[in-house]
Structures are given as structure tokens and as C-alpha cells.
Structure 1
Amino acid sequence: MPLIQELTDTYQSGWSATVALGQRLSTHVIPLQTHHPKDSLTNQWGPQAQALASLTISWDRTAVEKKLIRQNWPVAKQRAAAKYLSYIERYMDEAVINMYETGIPVSITLAQGILESGAGASNLARKTNNHFGIKALPTATGRRKIKAKRYDELTPQDFRYRPPAIGVSQHHDDHVYDRFEVYASVQDSYWRHSRLLLNSCKKARKGCYRWIWQEFPIQRQYVDLTEMAEIYQSVSGYSPKDFFGKTKVPYYAAQAAGLKMAGYATSKTYHKKLVYLIETYELWRFDVAVQRALG
């Protein structure tokens, strides 16, 4: 996956002038009637949900493809891009609904889904419907076996998973003993991911992501990640300027940095890969559309 080389300000222009950017505005129907919320966050669809039933968006696959052609992307790279664009089209409704329910930006959800699942083509995604690399955590018994390096003795019962996961599956990631949650559907994977990012937790601890959406809200102005980067520096090992070479960045870049600060992934360039996907495929357009629709 390529990395973002230099942050752009395209989203700032698109915030107020989507038509001026050459993007066509279209009305996209979100199938709310087929979605059944699974928790108390939304016991029923409120009045705001009606705005999503005919969401006006400026994201356009054809326009993105033409942009990539103008940038002289080689054919092989365009084929890879086509897979990413198909993934976006397939799962954007789920990401939009999750943003309505939880506030997690569509751009972050889709970028993580593409990156973590290889646009749905990874072995883990195909076998488990797990599109976000969510691991099952070892129980006390499991931890003792792992500490003693008795990996062959580990069983599914040595790992715990949370609903709507239905089990665990072994896939080598950071360690040979890693187990990942298994879901009955990709929709369940999306639901689990958004709730993971909202888990109650103590700020400045690894695995705590809830603060990101409060500290770095969707907005046109750049946000400063200095304060939170300094709080998390002992956890992440990154100083404020280590993320992008500067501290004032677009909201989605700050959110991606927040995920890295809190240890969502071990890759040293995870945040830059997310931002590359968001800017290249203009995923921020979904965030703007949903925020406008919800007022």
C-alpha cells in the first residue's frame, strides 16, 4: 500500500464547492429499512435518519477513475484501484449507517476496511468476514500458555470474543498464536468495528479510541494533534511531528494519527496508509455529506 507523501487541502475546497470540483451531485438511497440496529445506541430511527434515506453525495466513482488516469497511473495500478473502488461501492451504505449510529466517520471506516481486509480479498476476510483485523483476546489460561510458549496447547476456549462475533479463527499476524474474531456477516464486522472504536476506556492507554472522535471532529479547518500526541508519546513512541512532519492537519489525518497513537495497528506507517486511501479515493466526501444531512 502506498503512503501519503504530502497532505492536500482538496477537502477544504470540496467542503463548500463540490460542484466546482467537477464532481456531479447525486442522490443516493440508503436502505434503512433493511438495517436492524443491534444495541441501545439507536433503538429506533430518529427524525434525522430520514435525511439519510436520500443522501446527497458528491463522491463519484467515474470521476475518481478519471482523476487517476489524468495522473498517469499505470494499468496495473488502475486495476488495483478498481478493486478498492468496488469495495467502497459495496460497503459505503454500511459505513454511512454506522456513522449515523456512532459518529465514526465513513472515511475512516472504509479506509480501515480496505487496508485491513485487502479490499475484502484477504484470507482472513474471506474465511471469517472480519474486515478490520479485530483479534480475540486470550483468557487467563490462554495467557499462561502463551507465556510458557505452549502454543500447541491453545484451544478456541482460551480466547474470548465479543458479540456479534460467533467464534475465533487462527491466523498468523504479529504472533503465530493470534486468534481473530469470526462473524456471520460482513455487516456484523462493521458493527463490531464501530463499537470497538467507542469502547469506554481511559485516555492515554493503548487500545483506547473513543477520545479520537471528540478531540478531532469532522470540520473544514485543520486540527492540531500536538496535545494528544504528547499525551500518547510514551505509548506510541511518536512525537507530534513524527506523524506527518507537521502538527496542523486535516481532521481525517488527525483521526488516523489517533488510531496509530492508541495502538490500533503495529505498522509504523499505518496512519499514512489510511490518509493515502482517504485522499486518493476522496472518502472525505462521505463524511461531509452525512454531516450535512444530519445537520
Structure 2
Amino acid sequence: MPQKRRYTNRRPVRRRSSKKNNTTFILLAIVAVFVISFFGYRRYVQYRSETQVEMVQQERNQFVKKIAPYAVELGKEYGVLPSITIAQAILESDWGTSSLASQYNNYFGIKGDDPSNTKVLQTKEYTNGQWITINGRFRVYSDFRESMKDHTKLLVNGTTWNPQQYKQVLQSKDYIEAAVALQSDGYATDPGYTTKIIRIIQKYNLKKYDQGIK
């Protein structure tokens, strides 16, 4: 007797679209690339910043090493604290990078009158409670040591109108007292000059060069 065919009520199996899977994979890949790139870029920026800071620090250390020995030599001969000389050179010349320092070896903004050994440049001075830009005639030196010695002699011999002008600076027993004396004796017009000098000396440990001077 012939058998009846059995029919099942099975539904056909639907296959998942591979297109959706590919889209998800691509999105995940894009996100991964973005994350890696973002953190890689941040690391690169950080590395570059750290490298620049290190380079600046090395240049500043080299500047101090360049002028410190002669500052000590002048200190022993004339009694001016080397830390004061070095700090003033740093502040006045912007670590030897100013035009006056890099082109004319004038590390202290020393002015002159003789056109044969001076150069007219713009400078800022603090007058009547505000900073103004003026033209000044500044000394030109063949070597930075000439500038340092001229600066030391200025403190020792004073000005043409007052030979004792920087007497308190010379009599100071430490860099703090000397920095205060520079301001009170009228060396600079900047009202924050004393604070800046003290901060530079402390930050770069310039006090160590004063040993045996006083």
C-alpha cells in the first residue's frame, strides 16, 4: 500500500546578511584607528614638548657654564657676587639670545655715548608707572667678557654723577641683600627687578658660585 508523503511545517532558515557584519567591522576598525592615532598623537605632542623643554634647559645650562668662571674671577678681583653678575646677565640678555647680546656681546644693556663703539637700538624702560619704548645707544663689545668686566666696573666705580651709587651692592653679604641694593641704588627702572634676580639665582642655584667671595 503506497505511503503518504509527510510534509513538515518547517520555515526556511534565513541567512544573516554579511553586509551588516562587514559594516560593523569597518566601523570598529575606524574607531580603533582613531583611538590609536589620537593617543599616538598625544604621546608625540608630549614627547616633542618634553624634548623642547630639555633642549631649552641644556642651552641655559651651557650659558651659565659659559659665563660663570669669569663671573667668579671678577668676583674675587672686585668683590661683586658672581651670582648677581650671572643672574643680571641672564635677565638683561634673555640668556644671551637678545639682539644686543647675540650681535654685540652686550649682556647687561650698558649704554655709551661714543658713536664709534655704540649701536642705537630700541629698549623698554619703566617711567611714570608704565613701560615705554625708547631708542638707546648701547655699547658694542668684541667679546662677552668685555661686557662682564664693564658691568663689574660700573658697580665698583659708580656713575659719572655718583661714584658711590652702587656702594650698597658691593657691601652686601649675600645675593638677597645685593639684589635689594640694586633696586634701591637705582640700577634698573623695572619695579620687579629685585624679585626677578632673586628668583633666577634660587631657581638655578647660582648661590654656589659665591663661595669664597665674601
Contact in 1 for aligned 2:75/2:213 (Cα 8 Å): no
**TM-score if structure 2 supplies the norm length?**
0.66
Contact in 1 for aligned 2:105/2:140 (Cα 8 Å): yes
Once residues 167 and 204 of structure 2 are traced to their aligned partners in structure 1, the CA distance between those partners, rounded to angstroms, is: 25
Match runs of 1:138-157 below 5 Å:
none
Once residues 78 and 209 of structure 1 are traced to their aligned partners in structure 2, the CA distance between those partners, rounded to angstroms, is: 37
Once residues 262 and 212 of structure 1 are traced to their aligned partners in structure 2, the CA distance between those partners, rounded to angstroms, is: 8
Give yes or no for the alignment of 1:93 onto 2:69: yes
**TM-score if structure 1 supplies the norm length?**
0.49
1:84 shift after superposition: 2.1
Once residues 53 and 183 of structure 2 are traced to their aligned partners in structure 1, the CA distance between those partners, rounded to angstroms, is: 26
Secondary structure of the residue aligned to 1:171 is strand
User: 2:41: which partner in 1?
Assistant: none
Give yes or no for the alignment of 1:262 onto 2:212: no
Is there any run of 5+ residues in structure 2 with no aligned partner, and where? Answer: 1-48, 126-132
Give yes or no for the alignment of 1:193 onto 2:151: yes
Once residues 206 and 199 of structure 1 are traced to their aligned partners in structure 2, the CA distance between those partners, rounded to angstroms, is: 5
Contact in 2 for aligned 1:206/1:263 (Cα 8 Å): no
Match runs of 1:111-130 below 5 Å:
111-130=87-106
Once residues 59 and 96 of structure 2 are traced to their aligned partners in structure 1, the CA distance between those partners, rounded to angstroms, is: 9
1:86 shift after superposition: 1.2
Match runs of 1:101-250 below 5 Å:
101-136=77-112, 159-160=113-114, 167-173=117-123, 174=125, 175-200=133-158, 208-214=165-171, 216-217=172-173
Same amino acid, percent of matched pairs = 30
AA at the equivalent of 2:134:
V
Once residues 172 and 207 of structure 1 are traced to their aligned partners in structure 2, the CA distance between those partners, rounded to angstroms, is: 29
Secondary structure of the residue aligned to 2:157 is coil
Contact in 1 for aligned 2:79/2:213 (Cα 8 Å): no
- Which is higher, the Rg of structure 1 or of structure 2? 2
1:79 shift after superposition: 4.1
Any idea what the Cα deviations from partners look like across 1:102-132, whole Å, max 9, x if unmatched? 0111100100111111111111101211001
Any idea what the Cα deviations from partners look like across 1:49-75, whole Å, max 9, x if unmatched? xxxxxxxxxxxxxxxxxxxxxxxxx83
Once residues 95 and 110 of structure 1 are traced to their aligned partners in structure 2, the CA distance between those partners, rounded to angstroms, is: 7
Higher RCO (C-alpha 8 Å, min separation 6): 1
Contact in 2 for aligned 1:107/1:286 (Cα 8 Å): yes
Give yes or no for the alignment of 1:291 onto 2:213: yes
Any idea what the Cα deviations from partners look like across 1:165-212, whole Å, max 9, x if unmatched? x61101111343311111111110011010001115699x69911332
Secondary structure of the residue aligned to 1:198 is helix
Secondary structure of the residue aligned to 2:213 is helix
User: 1:277: which partner in 2?
Assistant: 200
Secondary structure of the residue aligned to 1:260 is helix
